[in-house]
Amino acid sequence: MLFTPQSDFGRPLRLGTRGSPLALAQARLTAQALIAAHGWSADAIKIVTVQTSGDRIQDRALADIGGKALWTKELDRALVAGETDLSVHSMKDVETVRHDIFHIAAMLPRADPRDKLIGASSFDALPPNPIVGTSSPRRGAQVKRLRPDATITLFRGNVATRLAKLAAGEVHATLLAAAGLDRLDQGNVGTIIPVDTMLPAPSQGAVGIEILAGNAPVIEAVAAINHRDTFDTVMMERAVLRGLGGTCHSPIAALALVDGDDLMLRAEIISPDGQETVSENLRLACGDLDAGEALGRALLDRASPALRALFEA
Ligand SMILES: NCc1[nH]cc(CCC(=O)O)c1CC(=O)O
């Protein structure tokens, strides 16, 4: 062969991504994986950056301005308009119920799903009445459970912005996903929080690739890089979310781990003041998403009316 095929499509595949440094790092990982799996040349994939409303609006909590769709809407539009062939997302930011024209074709190997505490070596080491910056209802509730004296303050922006706000002394501490820090080569920042202390968000640390459901050739090409265990565990965590009918207002944590042929699934919902936690632990068969949804519903059944109300639209 005198040439390397550029891609199997006679043209570069256009990969849509948000433009944040983390999103771009994840897009590059995806492009590299596809190129390696298929022996394509380096220019077989063209990265197309799309600004999302989530990137544009920085002064309000995501939950208050339209939820997770704000991370995907513009990328979805580009896919539908045929301007891109695939979208790369942090699975944590992808709505639980997607329109069926979109197909999650693959996930990359999951990074560390845990959260990190930045600004203090532990929750105990924080000063009295600490101010903790986060706009995640889950993290806020979990912090209040550990430190009822804490004040939670709205904290948005990309990883670098948040670290800058912390450095400027706006808060005593903040929380970030270890995955994002690792993928930005900032794995030295912060202290890992064990999952027993802070169960992560469903899908945290996972990168997924979405394609139009009708686009079989691209779906097939992308399926080649799917990481099976990540796909199975993240789909199970998303099933819990479906069962709960949660939104980004809802403090929900869930983590599934592969255990032989089964999954070990853990999930909890927490009241915003941290005073009420309802949790479940379950071993279940890998593809049994109905059992995952049932676990979500079981959590709600055991919750107080006030906590349950956070899950009603
Ligand atoms: N909501 C923002 C977001 N979406 C995905 C990540 C991190 C990477 C991941 O969890 O996959 C982050 C930042 C954070 O929570 O620290």
Which ligand 1 atom is nearest residue 91's CA? Answer: 11
Q: Residue 284: beta bridge partners?
A: 263
- Give the CATH architecture of domain 237-309: 2-Layer Sandwich (3.30)
CA distance 270 to 282: 18
> What is the Å distance from ligand 1's center to 207 Cα?
10
Retrieve residue 106's tokens: 């693959």
By most ligand atoms within 8 Å of CB, the mutation choice from 60, 204, 233, 234 for ligand 1 is 204
Nearest to 264 by CA among 243, 240, 297, 300: 240
Nearest to 18 by CA among 101, 98, 76, 85: 76
By most ligand atoms within 8 Å of CB, the mutation choice from 89, 90, 154 for ligand 1 is 90
Q: Residue 253: beta bridge partners?
A: 268
The reply to whether 43 belongs to the active site is no
Retrieve residue 57's tokens: 């609006």
Query: In sequence order, which ranges of the chain are alpha helices (DSSP H)?
Result: 21-38, 53-56, 62-65, 69-80, 137-146, 159-167, 178-183, 216-223, 228-244, 289-302, 305-309
Which ligand 1 atom is nearest residue 176's CA? Answer: 16
> Tell me, what's the pLDDT at 15?
98
CB of 203 within 8 A of CB of 176? no
Cα torsion at 131, 275, 303, 206 (round to 10°)?
40
> What is the Å distance from ligand 1's center to 276 Cα?
25
> At residue 221, what is the residue type?
A
Domain residue limits, the chain? 13-108+206-226, 115-192, 237-309
DSSP 267: E
Same CATH topology for 115-192 and 237-309? no
H helices then E strands: how many in the chain? Answer: 11, 13
Residues with CB under 6 A from ligand 1: 90, 92-93, 176-177, 179-180, 204-206
pLDDT by residue (tens digit) across 105-137? 999 999 999 999 999 999 999 999 999 999 999
> What is the Å distance from ligand 1's center to 180 Cα?
6
Strand order, beta sheet including 207-212: 45-49, 13-17, 86-90, 207-212, 102-107
Residue nearest to atom 1 of ligand 1 (CA): 93
Residue nearest to atom 5 of ligand 1 (CA): 90
Retrieve residue 197's tokens: 């202390």
Strands 13-17 and 45-49: parallel
Residue nearest to atom 9 of ligand 1 (CA): 205
pTM (two decimals):
0.93
> What is the Å distance from ligand 1's center to 203 Cα?
9
Extract the residue ranges of the chain whose pLDDT is less than 50: 1-2
Establish how many alpha carbons lie within 13 A of residue 260's alpha carbon, considering only the half-sphere containing its beta carbon. Answer: 4
> What is the Å distance from ligand 1's center to 4 Cα?
36
> What is the Å distance from ligand 1's center to 244 Cα?
21
Radius of gyration, alpha carbons of the chain: 20
CA of residue 70 relative to chain centroid, distance: 14
DSSP 44: G
> Tell me, what's the pLDDT at 269?
97
Q: Is 280 helix (H, G, I), strand (E, B) or coil?
A: strand
> Tell me, what's the pLDDT at 58?
65
What number is the ipTM of this complex? Answer: 0.94
> At residue 266, what is the residue type?
R
- Give the CATH architecture of domain 115-192: 3-Layer(aba) Sandwich (3.40)
> What is the Å distance from ligand 1's center to 201 Cα?
9
Q: Which of 93, 115, 149, 232 is catalytic?
A: 93
Q: Which residues touch 7 (CB under 8 Å, ≥6 apart)?
A: 13, 38, 40, 41, 44, 45
Instruction: Please give the CATH number for the structural domain made up of 13-108+206-226.
Output: 3.40.190.10
